[in-house]
Amino acid sequence: MSAPLVVHLIYRLDFGGLENLLVERINRMPAASYRHAIVCLTDYTAFADKITRPDVTLHALHKRAGLALGTHAALWRLLRRLRPAILHSYNLSAIEYAPAALLAGVPVRINGAHGRDAGDPEGRNRKHNWLRRRMLPFYDCYYTNSAAMLEWNRAVIGVPAAKSCLLANGIDTERYRPADAAPAAGPLHERFGPGCIVIGSVGRIEAVKDHASLVRAFAALRARRPGLRLRLALIGDGPLLPALTAQVLEAGLEQVAWLPGARHDVADILRGLTVFALPSLAEGTPGAALEAMASGVPVVGTRVGGVPEVVADGVTGRVVPPADPAALSAALEVYAAAPALAARHGAAGRARVLQHYGMAAMVAAYLTLYDALCARKLKPIRRLTSCVE
């Protein structure tokens, strides 16, 4: 008998933290336990090349903007053909498709909340929350990747404790590791040369990440500290990359800023940073921040979602209010002016990731969830421990 199939339903498979961790989990799960297919409501990009398992199939539904009821029918037909044991949907953008999965005979249905979008960073949109509540009966589990989101799901959406759990993100601490010595080469050295203080951020360039505030914070810091060789690296692609590039040009920062788009050498880039900035308006558990911490880099992040759970303020980095360039700039200045402090907090961040956010633990937690729900709904496939927090 072949392993049960998991269909992962996402809006788009492209460069991003959620997508990166999804691919990492698929690549690392034992092939004998589950097979996998990724269904994109819209489309996928060359990012899909990061999938190393040869048995993973990709499907694009090319959903149009708006309600697009035809996408529900297209997904139903695809699920009838694939016959998965599990539908695993991600975030609000894919939550409404559980009824189609039920009608297609998919026995296990899971939704994961990995964060919110810029239009509703605090989860106050009544229509969105109405949809979350309406879909709740169609799902077997609503999990989150941060304690803050878990509490919100239970208090605001009304998700029962028995139907919800926390699945923390995990990091490949072998790939993301500190530099062996002061970097004498690498992407940032090639771009900026030696002796620079590099502030960097990695993530999809979209509104919820609020890179615009980071550019303003960086410009203010350069004005206050003209004697420091400050540089800015914004790594990632996305719909707002042209606007962000224009903002950099307008601020006269084109000689000291680097916006290369998506890169496949992120681990090497992180090792060359002085400090990592996460100016997001909303987050779950920020995988990019964990990667920076694993690389021995202190993190300045905003007080949203799971960021305060990850970044220990004053120990592994600094936590500042969102949409506050002045506060962000001041926190970045602390590390730009004190390399020894940056090194200490970076080392503490590495230790924190090793203790709490290992990749193996993340993969095991998802396997436990899949196994528990399959044991309950696909008897007698397997009976293992249930979803736990």
Answer yes or no: is 50 within a domain: yes
- Residues 248, 145, single domain; the answer is no
What pLDDT, on the 0 to 100 scale, is given for residue 66? Answer: 87
- Residues 197, 330, single domain; the answer is yes
- Would the pLDDT of 121 be above 90? no
What pLDDT, on the 0 to 100 scale, is given for residue 384? Answer: 42
Write phi, then psi, for 125 (nearest 5 degrees): -65, 115
- Residues 73, 124, single domain; the answer is yes
- Residues 14, 149, single domain; the answer is yes
pLDDT tier at 181 (50, 70, 90 boundaries)? low
Answer yes or no: is 180 within a domain: no
Cα(229)–Cα(197) distance, integer angstroms: 6
Please, where are the H alpha helices in the chain? 17-28, 69-82, 98-103, 126-135, 147-152, 187-192, 211-224, 241-250, 266-271, 287-294, 307-310, 325-336, 339-356, 359-377
Answer yes or no: is 246 within a domain: yes
pLDDT digits (tens, 9 = 90+) for 323-367: 999 999 999 999 999 999 999 999 999 999 999 999 999 999 999
Mean of the per-residue pLDDT values for the chain?
A: 94
pLDDT digits (tens, 9 = 90+) for 230-247: 999 999 999 999 999 999
- Mean of pLDDT values over 202-212: 96
List the domain range (segments joined by +) for residue 125: 5-170+358-377
- Residues 212, 292, single domain; the answer is yes
Q: How many domains does the chain have?
A: 2
Answer yes or no: is 251 within a domain: yes
- Residues 204, 336, single domain; the answer is yes
- Residues 120, 166, single domain; the answer is yes
Peptide bond into 380 cis (omega under 30): yes
Cα(282)–Cα(306) distance, integer angstroms: 9
pLDDT tier at 386 (50, 70, 90 boundaries)? very low
More confident residue, 67 or 362: 362
Tally: H helices and E strands in the chain:
14, 13
Answer yes or no: is 384 within a domain: no
What pLDDT, on the 0 to 100 scale, is given for residue 301? Answer: 98
- Residues 211, 351, single domain; the answer is yes
Answer yes or no: is 233 within a domain: yes
Answer yes or no: is 220 within a domain: yes
